[in-house]
Amino acid sequence: MWGCLVALMGLFFLVRWYRERQVVSQLTDKYVFITGCDSGFGNLLARQLDMRGLRVLAACLTEKGAEQLRRQTSDRVETVILDVTQTESITAAAQWVKEHVGDRGLWGLVNNAGIALPSAPNEWLTKQDFVDMLNVNLLGTIEVTLNLLPLVRKARGRVVNVSSFLGRLSPFGGGYCISKYGVEAFSDSLRRELSPFGVKVAMIEPGYFQTNIVDKKKFRQSMEAIWNQANPEVKKVYGQEFLEACDHLLKPLFGQDLPLVTDCMEHALTASHPRTRYSAGWDAKFFYIPLSYMPTCLVDAMICWLSPKPAQAL
């Protein structure tokens, strides 16, 4: 019995390995639009796809980021300025993409643009802090997708949304986890709706990576700014030591290299049989995502044990 079970599991992984090695044909004729290419995952993915010979339409928030990317890539990469929180900017970028791809349609849409700050206990934040986060990470993703879906459908292409392990688990407050839960739900519904048209939707769920949108220095500065604006009662309840202890929240469990994420994105765009979800990073694979499947009482106990304690906690 156990021998049969092992054999079946071995066959399953062998078949999956074979299917995932099959690559889409004529990649050099396909266009991919990527948001958030100034730095981090988007910037690296644009350069990576350029080396594979794909035609990359890279959206950057700043002209400086666009210029730097153009210097690092071939003439297959073209850039456009895009602010995913502004409808006018999204509409203009969508028209720009349409003019470039023509009748071929858009093979790949990668919703990568995002922010991670401010992140803090919910009581420290204002409604506007949540709104600002959702406007970029969730509503920006939705509006960009809605504007480009006709082009993706025409090409029978791919939509790749960057979520996070924090789209399954919420160990801290603020809008980031909320926004990523929303990206997961949007991607699930989109995948089922677009399946009849031959369009595939994939989610990338990275663990913790040091990028320009959040590093220890920026996180510390953001927390101090929020703390300085907090009312005296909140400061008394949480205490200065809580603020100091928050620095440990950004300590990675494993060594993390950005290609662990961009390789997943590339596979989702170029494989004949992409996965629905990609767990990117060793911490996501072996700790955070497995943790999300555990009983709630165990997850709560572990997160509380690892988290800073307020001064007036019971």
Q: Which pLDDT tens digit goes with each residue over 124-149?
A: 899 999 999 999 999 999 999 999 99
* pLDDT (tens digit per residue) in 61-79: 999 999 999 999 999 999 9
Average pLDDT along the chain: 89
pLDDT of residue 85: 96
SS3 of 266-310: HHHHHECCCCCEEEECHHHHHHHHHHHCCCHHHHHHHHHHHCCCC
* pLDDT (tens digit per residue) in 231-265: 888 888 888 887 777 766 666 655 578 899 999 99
* pLDDT (tens digit per residue) in 180-202: 999 999 999 999 999 999 999 99
d(CA 51, CA 45): 10
Sheet bearing 158-162, strands edge to edge: 77-81, 55-60, 31-34, 108-111, 158-162, 200-206, 277-280
- Residue 299 pLDDT > 70, yes or no? yes
- Give the residue among 223, 251, 249 at the shortest CA–CA distance from 238: 223
User: In which element (H, E) is residue 205 found?
Assistant: strand 200-206
**C-alpha 276: how far from chain center:** 14
Q: Is residue 56 assigned to a domain?
A: yes
Work out the average pLDDT over 39-49: 95
Q: Compare 248 and 103 and report the one with higher pLDDT.
A: 103
Beta-strand ranges (E) seen in 46-170 are 55-60, 77-81, 108-111, 158-162
Q: In 10 A of CB 308, how many CB atoms?
A: 18
Catalytic-labelled residue, pool 18, 31, 176, 278: 176
Collapsed DSSP state (helix, strand, coil) of residue 59: strand
User: In which element (H, E) is residue 32 found?
Assistant: strand 31-34
Q: Is residue 16 assigned to a domain?
A: no
Q: Is residue 59 assigned to a domain?
A: yes
176 is catalytic: yes
- Residue 118 pLDDT > 90, yes or no? no
Q: Is residue 14 assigned to a domain?
A: no
Q: Are 242 and 308 in contact (CB under 8 A)?
A: yes
Token digits for 253? 């469990």
- Tally the domains of the chain: 1
- Residue 314 pLDDT > 60, yes or no? no
Letter for the amino acid at 90? I
Q: Is residue 274 assigned to a domain?
A: yes
State the DSSP code for 108: E
pLDDT of residue 172: 85
pLDDT of residue 210: 79
Work out the average pLDDT over 256-284: 92
Work out the average pLDDT over 7-11: 71
Q: Is residue 313 assigned to a domain?
A: no
Q: Is residue 2 assigned to a domain?
A: no
Collapsed DSSP state (helix, strand, coil) of residue 36: coil
pLDDT of residue 136: 96
Residue 260 structural domain: 27-306
**In CATH, what number is assigned to the domain containing residue 278?**
3.40.50.720
- Residue 153 pLDDT > 90, yes or no? yes
pTM: 0.91
List Cβ neighbours of 244 (8 Å cut-off, separation of 6 or more).
none
Q: Is residue 120 assigned to a domain?
A: yes
